[in-house]
């Protein structure tokens, strides 16, 4: 009996080996490769204050849909090598998303097919010295945009609706992620301090015009201890100013406080784009909360205000630009976790535009100037 | 000795863990992710009655080449979550296939790169209540086109050569699969009854012209018991009629009967495209059989007739349109299974066109009006 | 205690099954599917003799970055089926690389998204009879370009900088890999003899103009025994001569000799492109070595000379074309293996152009005619 049990264990193990049979090309004892992803889809309806409505199958209302491969290898003495390849999905259509090869408008790849547009890097890390990554990754400021937005930079109520969308600044290839980057990440064991610095290059010929276009650099520093987590970040991208794009700086600071009965969020962004016609400057402040509910769920709330410091449509008697093309957004949602991997969610968001502002909830069509934009979505997010 | 055996079993298990090391990002006890695919290639030669010949490495002569990732998670109480991401391959060239983002000609993605064009969805299913899927999937009528065609909608002899190809109706983005869909599938335990209903949206702005373009809906109902399987389906896609595309309806009914010595197939399709210049209406009937042979093989036979109800080239004395731009196709093939995963196959098909008809066997070049099209292929299909 | 140990082993095995849960779609006892890849990135700086400089995150300085899926199935009696799907990556940007669908300039797919451009085939192999592959694969001459170049056809010092780059012959779709191919590979057990033959088709209509464009055929034969490995290959691609491309032939012969203290490399290429204006003919000779160093590292050295037999800028008194648009390249590098999977490397290469030659190190910008090109890179290569 004992023998037979052992044999059956052994046989199962062998069978697993052959049935699974999915091994790394160069497997070693300390290695692992992980296939992972998210498929997040929901019914979505967005409305413009001027009457337009779009009924859609929304994508990524709770988390960005994606597929990826990642792995690490233990090299001994605290040193590890690793890689990460992760691409966005639009599972409503089976499409992927474009990446950008040179951090400039000319480097945009065609929309539709799969790429590893989110993250694509090789890394060497050491438990004491930190990590160096080379490749494509989120820029420092975007990490704050994700972690300190109660809607995690996804769905109709994401904070980024105000920060970037409708910014009148054309394509900003480095607004979220950058290519051709080197980054350094502090090690994990610094008593709560964390941070990273990143540089990226547009890979232009040095003696050609606008040779700095697409170069960028950024920094993020944070501190997390107990219920608190705060971080500040700054990223500056260089572009020769054209009608659509110019030097672009983004600074933000944010934090969360988990008070037990609720987790509170705050995020403040300053974005500047230096165009030939003058600088576009926008400041956004957002506060929000997660409130646990129904044992496995949480309510999500946010309120955001965008102050367009460069607007010209409304002037105070003193001639100072103020509150002209500004916008407010509020969002409310509920996430119901069916398991650690699968959740149902519903979100509603509404943007009130002023002056010439035409901000729009994610997935919607841009309203007429000064008209509102709103939308709801009901979806399911499944991770693997 | 016993101890050492145990130890070695344990060691092997650990080694498997590390060597395989390919885990889900958020693995749970009840979850599984499956990598799967088909690589199907063969030598193919197609001929036009007017002398043209193409010698090619044909792709998907037996099954559509593809690669995919799918998985399910048991949520308890009969509820399951799941996802499916599957893209077509052209392994003769390493290319993938385009998908369509809005069910309209404007939403076609670029040809060549990989997408998940076949299926891309998240699903929630319950053993008693059935399944809801959101994403991209085959339209209801296409499931009949696959299951009730003895050539399974693949290769030079597929029934679809007559139903769609050469239809003079330009691009029909929703002829096979649709994006932005919600579908409901009956549960498995209904005493043989099965079925599904699907709606999809073109995601247009409601107050823009042609705002219904790309919207579609469809239904499929079937009954399988013992040796019989029959199903009927209907899909209607909305398009404002232009020169190339208009409202498109496809209805079909089909069945199989496994008589033991042979499995018989029948499939009848009605396709209508409402163009500004008048409706294009085509009816196709196909019969066929699979005959087991040589222990591990089966012979495949089909005969199909297309009646173009909207042709104008030939009129009866009474003025009734009849048999003008019609076509006949017959196909014969043999599949030899080397294993459950790997098969060799050969297929021959010939289409006789009449009037202005220019139908063509899959992979061939369109013949001159009324000339024949024929082709053979010899290939190997390997699934993983 | 013994029992509990056994139970825990069994439990671990079961947990692995569910946690890994990554199985083939149609798993059998003898099957296996392997996920594999390379992520190779490094800081790179290239210079032109005329002053231009590009600072970049270089990609594939040691091995081509890639991701792939491959597998085999034992069919019994020495027969195996298998597939291979492998696509290039540009992990500096998350992009993939284009493939070509018809071996002609018109078949180039769009740059940026993922494809399986490197290898994409299904195969049947037998231990005694060899292997037949159908799909996309490297052409015979490219295998010599990889194995007999001390820089393995990658990075700033690759031999191919001279063989193809700057050849003034426009796009050569079949210079490295071909689509729509059938190939036969000798079995492994021929006492050191190895080889393969390949044909590919442009899949053109036989009665259309230039119907042979994109057809090609090639052969490779080699012998490896003890410390020696030598091989010769020939590939000929047919193109109707236009301004940019014409019939293209590549012949090469190469070898390695592992003398223990060093491994020596030699490679000789003859490339001819028949243009309407006359043939372009270039011969390249390269010698090099790998020298083991620092226990886990090796120094890499190469010197290459390109003789443009078709140059017209310099003539001997007798009127014979000689040494006009020629070029020399030398490369030096060091590879330090941190493990079998992960290596650090540094490479420097310099090309001296003469006459009108504008050859450039991989990743750099083309210099002015006759000016030099040089570059270095420091990178990390991680395989999985």
For B317-328, the pLDDT digits (tens) are 565 555 588 999
Q: Is the pLDDT of residue A216 over 70?
A: yes
pLDDT digits (tens, 9 = 90+) for C83-108: 999 999 999 999 999 999 999 999 99
Partner chains of A (3+ C-beta pairs under 8 Å): B, C
Comparing B245 with C113, which gets the higher pLDDT?
A: C113
Span A147-169, average pLDDT: 83
* Percent of chain B whose pLDDT exceeds 90: 76
Instruction: Flag whether residue A35 sits within 8 Å of chain C, measured between CB atoms.
Output: yes
Which pLDDT band holds residue B162 (cuts at 50, 70, 90)?
very high
Query: Residue ranges of the alpha helices (H) in chain A?
Result: 2-20, 140-147, 160-163
Question: Is residue B317 a part of any domain in this protein?
Answer: yes
Q: How many domains does chain C have?
A: 1
Span C354-361, average pLDDT: 91
Span B319-344, average pLDDT: 88
Determine the pLDDT at residue B170.
52
A171-210 b/e (C-beta count within 10 Å ≥ 16 → b): ebbbbbbbbbbbbebbeeeeeeebbbebbbbbbbbeeeee
Q: Is the pLDDT of residue A135 over 70?
A: yes
* Residue A139 CB partners (closer than 8 Å, separation 6+): A174, A175, A176, A177, A178, A198, A200, A216, A218, A235, A250
Q: Which residue has the tokens 């080996």?
A: A17
pLDDT digits (tens, 9 = 90+) for A326-383: 999 999 999 999 999 999 999 999 999 998 889 999 999 999 999 999 999 999 999 9
Long-range (24+ apart) CB contacts under 8 A made by C307-311 are C307/C282, C307/C283, C308/C280, C308/C281, C308/C282, C308/C355, C308/C357, C309/C281, C309/C282, C309/C283, C310/C278, C310/C279, C310/C280, C310/C281, C310/C282, C311/C355, C311/C356, C311/C357
Backbone φ, ψ for residue B332 (5° rounding): -140, 140
Which pLDDT band holds residue C323 (cuts at 50, 70, 90)?
low
Span C72-88, average pLDDT: 97
Instruction: Flag whether residue C291 sits within 8 Å of chain B, measured between CB atoms.
Output: no
Determine the pLDDT at residue B375.
98
Determine the pLDDT at residue C41.
98
Span C286-312, average pLDDT: 93
Instruction: Flag whether residue B15 sits within 8 Å of chain C, measured between CB atoms.
Output: no
Partner A, chain B 186-245, Cβ-Cβ below 8 Å: 201, 203-208
Determine the pLDDT at residue C356.
87
Instruction: Flag whether residue C20 sits within 8 Å of chain B, measured between CB atoms.
Output: yes
CA-to-CA dists, residue A250 to A141, A247, A322, C161, C340, angstroms = 7, 10, 21, 41, 42
Q: Is the pLDDT of residue A32 over 80?
A: no
Backbone φ, ψ for residue A287 (5° rounding): -125, 155
Question: Residue B69 is nearest to which of A3, A28, A67, comparing CB atoms?
Answer: A67
Span B290-303, average pLDDT: 97
Contacts of C90 in chain B (CB under 8 A): none
Question: Is residue B214 a part of any domain in this protein?
Answer: yes
Lowest-pLDDT range of A294-303, B358-367, C193-202: B358-367
Determine the pLDDT at residue A50.
86
Determine the pLDDT at residue A317.
56
Residue C227: which region, alpha, beta or left (left: phi > 0; alpha: psi -120 to 50)? alpha
Determine the pLDDT at residue B324.
81
What is the distance, to the nearest Å, from the Cα of residue A101 to the centroid of all Cα atoms in its chain? 19
Q: Is the pLDDT of residue A232 over 60?
A: yes
Question: Is residue A11 a part of any domain in this protein?
Answer: no
Question: Is residue B270 a part of any domain in this protein?
Answer: yes
**Structural domain of A224:** 34-383
Span C341-346, average pLDDT: 98
* The CA-based dihedral angle spanning residues C307, C310, C316, C317, taken in that order and rounded to the nearest 10 degrees: 170
Span A255-273, average pLDDT: 96
Question: Is residue A24 a part of any domain in this protein?
Answer: no
Lowest-pLDDT range of B264-273, B320-329, C138-147: B320-329
Count how many Cα atoms sit within 13 Å of the Cα of residue B35 in the half-sphere of its side chain.
24
Determine the pLDDT at residue A119.
97
pLDDT digits (tens, 9 = 90+) for A284-298: 999 999 999 999 999
Output the pTM of the full model: 0.91
At A337 the three-state DSSP class reads strand
* Residue B111 CB partners (closer than 8 Å, separation 6+): B95, B97, B98, C109
At C89 the three-state DSSP class reads strand
Which pLDDT band holds residue C292 (cuts at 50, 70, 90)?
very high
Determine the pLDDT at residue B255.
98
* Average pLDDT value for chain A: 88
Question: Is residue C15 a part of any domain in this protein?
Answer: no
Question: Residue A99 is nearest to which of C36, C57, C112, comparing CB atoms?
Answer: C112
Determine the pLDDT at residue A320.
56
Rounded Cα distance, C307 and C329, in Å: 12
Query: Residue ranges of the alpha helices (H) in C267-370?
Result: none
Question: Is residue B61 a part of any domain in this protein?
Answer: yes
Q: Is the pLDDT of residue C291 over 90?
A: yes
pLDDT digits (tens, 9 = 90+) for B235-244: 999 998 776 7
Determine the pLDDT at residue B244.
74
Which pLDDT band holds residue C311 (cuts at 50, 70, 90)?
confident
Span B81-110, average pLDDT: 96
Q: Is the pLDDT of residue A38 over 70?
A: yes
User: A34 to chain C: nearest residue by CA?
Assistant: C20
Determine the pLDDT at residue B26.
36
Q: Which residue has the tokens 């649709």?
A: B178
Instruction: Flag whether residue A93 sits within 8 Å of chain B, measured between CB atoms.
Output: yes
Q: Is the pLDDT of residue A151 over 90?
A: yes
Question: Residue A36 is nearest to which of B16, B25, B117, comparing CB atoms?
Answer: B25
CB-based contact A23 C34, cutoff 8 Å? yes
Instruction: Flag whether residue C89 sits within 8 Å of chain A, measured between CB atoms.
Output: yes
Determine the pLDDT at residue A86.
98
Q: Structure tokens of B13?
A: 């298990």
The whole-angstrom distance between C26's CA and the closest CA on chain A is 9
Determine the pLDDT at residue C164.
66
* The CA-based dihedral angle spanning residues A59, A64, A67, A70, taken in that order and rounded to the nearest 10 degrees: 180
Closest CA to C155 of C316, C314, C376: C376
Partner A, chain C 47-76, Cβ-Cβ below 8 Å: 51-57, 67-68, 71
Pick from A17, A20, A88 the residue to mutate for testing the C interface (most C CBs within 10 Å). Answer: A20
Question: Is residue C314 a part of any domain in this protein?
Answer: yes
Q: Is the pLDDT of residue C146 over 60?
A: yes
pLDDT winner (highest mean) among A255-269, A323-337, C4-18: A255-269
Instruction: Flag whether residue A173 sits within 8 Å of chain C, measured between CB atoms.
Output: no
Q: Is the pLDDT of residue A167 over 70?
A: no
CB-based contact B92 C205, cutoff 8 Å? no
Q: Angle C23-C24-C30 (CA atoms, 0-180°, nearest 5)?
A: 105
The whole-angstrom distance between B305's CA and the closest CA on chain C is 27
Determine the pLDDT at residue A318.
61
- What CATH number is attached to the domain comprising B256? 2.40.160.10
Span B6-11, average pLDDT: 36
Span B6-29, average pLDDT: 34
Span A291-315, average pLDDT: 87
pLDDT digits (tens, 9 = 90+) for C175-195: 999 999 999 999 998 999 999
* Percent of chain A whose pLDDT exceeds 70: 86
Comparing B173 with C199, which gets the higher pLDDT?
A: C199
Determine the pLDDT at residue B4.
38
Q: Is the pLDDT of residue A97 over 60?
A: yes
């Amino acid at each position: 009996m004992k023998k037979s049990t052992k044999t059956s264990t052994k046989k199962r193990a062998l069978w697993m080996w052959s049935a699974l049979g999915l091994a790394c090309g160069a497997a070693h004892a300390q290695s692992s490769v992980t296939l992972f992803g998210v498929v997040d889809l929901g019914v979505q309806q967005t409305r413009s204050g001027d009457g337009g409505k779009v009924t859609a199958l929304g994508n990524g209302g709770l988390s960005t849909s994606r597929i990826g491969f990642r792995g690490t290898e233990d090299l001994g003495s605290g040193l590890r090598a690793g890689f990460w390849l992760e691409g966005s999905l639009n599972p409503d259509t089976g499409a992927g998303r474009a990446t950008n090869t040179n951090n400039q408008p000319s480097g945009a790849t065609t929309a539709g097919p799969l790429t590893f547009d989110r993250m694509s890097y090789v890394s060497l890390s050491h438990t004491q010295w930190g990590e160096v990554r080379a490749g494509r990754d989120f820029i420092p400021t975007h990490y704050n945009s994700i972690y300190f937005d109660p809607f995690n930079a996804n769905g109709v109520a994401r904070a980024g609706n105000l920060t970037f969308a409708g910014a009148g600044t054309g394509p900003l290839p480095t607004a979220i992620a950058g290519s051709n980057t080197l980054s350094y990440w502090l090690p994990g064991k610094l008593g709560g301090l964390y941070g990273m610095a990143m540089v990226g290059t547009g890979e232009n010929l040095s003696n050609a015009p606008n040779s700095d276009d697409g170069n960028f650099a950024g920094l993020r520093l944070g501190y997390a201890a107990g219920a608190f987590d705060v971080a500040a970040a700054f990223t500056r991208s260089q572009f020769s100013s054209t009608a659509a794009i110019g030097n672009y700086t983004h600074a933000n600071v944010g934090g969360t406080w988990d008070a037990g009965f609720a987790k509170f969020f705050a995020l403040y962004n300053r974005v500047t784009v230096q165009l030939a016609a003058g600088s576009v400057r926008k400041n956004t402040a957002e506060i929000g909360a997660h409130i646990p509910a129904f044992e496995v769920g949480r309510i999500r709330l946010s309120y955001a205000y965008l102050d367009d410091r460069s607007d010209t449509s409304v002037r105070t008697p003193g001639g100072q630009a103020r509150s002209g093309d500004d916008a407010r957004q509020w969002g409310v949602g509920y996430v119901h976790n069916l398991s650690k991997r699968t959740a149902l969610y519903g979100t509603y968001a509404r943007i009130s535009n002023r002056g010439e502002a035409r901000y729009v909830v994610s997935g919607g069509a841009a309203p007429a100037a000064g008209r509102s934009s709103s939308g709801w979505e009901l979806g399911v997010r499944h991770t693997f």
